[in-house]
Amino acid sequence: MNTKSALFKEHMVELRLFGVLLGLMVVLSLISDRFLTVDNLTNVLWSVCLIGIMTTGAIYAPITGGIDLSVASMAALAGILANVFMNTLGMNWIVAILITLVIGAGIGWLNGVVTTKFLVPAFIVTMAAKTYLFGVAMLVSNGDQITIMEPAPFLQIGIGKLLGIPIPIYIMFTLVILSHILLKKTVFGRRTIAVGANEVAAKLTGVNPDRTRIIVYTISSVTATIAGIVMASLTQQAYAMNATGYELDVITAIVVGGTSLMGGSGSVVGALIGAVMVGFINNGLNLLDMPSAFHPIATGIVILVALIMNQGVSVPAVLKKWFARPGAAEAAK
């Protein structure tokens, strides 16, 4: 009984999120009868799989108290590089993917080294990385949208189906399971949480925070690279602007999933539910024929609401305090 309630407590965040998700599904199915069809639900999963794949790795940076903003540019660059290796240099597609992954890991490693060894805030390093990776992607692709027609097995990664379900969804769920095990069941996951919760204490218990962080940014970049390869194969094109703005969706998924950006806790399953929720909101806006400009607005509002809920402050109390601030009475006069 006791262990059962402990288990329940441990997964409280995910359960609550799942409840919100179900509520959202009910609302959406009431709004539009096109929502609750197998086709539409598969479509939503398919549309969030890129963000889902990125999230599985990108979540580690917030758990250590940092952030990775370079994931979108990294994904776009990965698609372009994979195309160059396969079709311009004529490599085998598996070799091309492996080389791209190594390059992605290298860039993530560089992000981690600059963040830890030079004590530069993570968002500055990764934002600068976002910019220069975008520049490199534009330079390599000459700013063109390159159509990828071959090799056929590479295209199967994105388009292929197994038992009627697209392969990217399998990739997403595999990565989610791996990432969940890595975070909750391994020494590395424990160390990541420890570094985010209290770096000094972690250091005193023998954890090397710098090394942990460098691995974290490497993982983040690698999953972004995987997402980029899947994206290139799924859209059959390599383009530097393919993933523009995805980092905001990734952060939304992570924040909605209950991960505090201050570090020390996080849930991969929660982030997956967060990603699906972002997908549902976009899907709902589409079904209601809203212009695409509502997408960033909805994302921004969802981030703010989720942040305030994660923070655990009560909104009425803050507002009350603000209206009762010294000088408010005179200002009203």
Partner 1 sequence: MSVSAIRRLILTGLLIAIGIALSIANPTFLKLDNLMTMLQEASLTGIVAIGFTLILITAGIDMSIGAVIAITSMICVNFISYTQLPAYIYIPIALAAGCAIGWVNGFFITHFKLPEFIVTLATRGILAGLALIIAVKDEQGFVKNVFIEDPVFLSFGETVGPVYIVTIVFILLAIATQFFMKRTRAGTNIYASGANPTAARLSGINVDRTLIGVYMFSGFCAALSSIFLAARMMTAMPEFGIGNELDVIASVVIGGTPFTGGIGDIWGTIIGTLFIALIKNGILKLGLSPYIQPIVIGGIIIVTVVADVWYKHHAEKKATQAARRKAMESKEVGA
Give the per-residue contact string, 41-80, with partner 1 (x = CB under 8 A; - = no).
Answer: --------------------------x-------------
CB of 319 to partner 1, least distance (A): 8
Query: Which CB atom, from 233 or from 242, has the smaller least distance to partner 1?
Result: 242
Per CB under 8 A, 248 contacts partner 1: yes
Per CB under 8 A, 308 contacts partner 1: yes
Question: What is the C-alpha to C-alpha distance for residues 261 and 142, in angstroms, rounded to an integer?
Answer: 36
Give the per-residue contact string, 174-203, with partner 1 (x = CB under 8 A; - = no).
Answer: ------------------------------
Per CB under 8 A, 109 contacts partner 1: no
Question: What is the C-alpha to C-alpha distance for residues 308 and 314, in angstroms, rounded to an integer?
Answer: 8
Identify the DSSP state of 146: E
Question: What is the C-alpha to C-alpha distance for residues 33 and 110, in angstroms, rounded to an integer?
Answer: 49
C-beta of residue 139 within 8 angstroms of C-beta of residue 78: no
Per CB under 8 A, 106 contacts partner 1: no
CB of 282 to partner 1, least distance (A): 12
Q: Which tokens belong to 281?
A: 């909101």
CA 174 to chain centre: 15
Cis omega before residue 151 (within 30°)? Answer: yes
Please give the C-alpha separations between residue 106 and each of 58, 62, 110, 305, in angstroms, as whole numbers: 16, 20, 6, 35
C-beta of residue 77 within 8 angstroms of C-beta of residue 133: yes
Binder among 34, 296, 323, 329 for partner 1 (CB under 8 A): 296
- Interface with partner 1 by CB under 8 A: which residues? 67, 114, 118-121, 123-125, 127-132, 134-136, 138-139, 143, 248, 251, 255, 261-262, 291, 293-297, 299-301, 303-304, 307-308, 311, 313, 318, 321-322
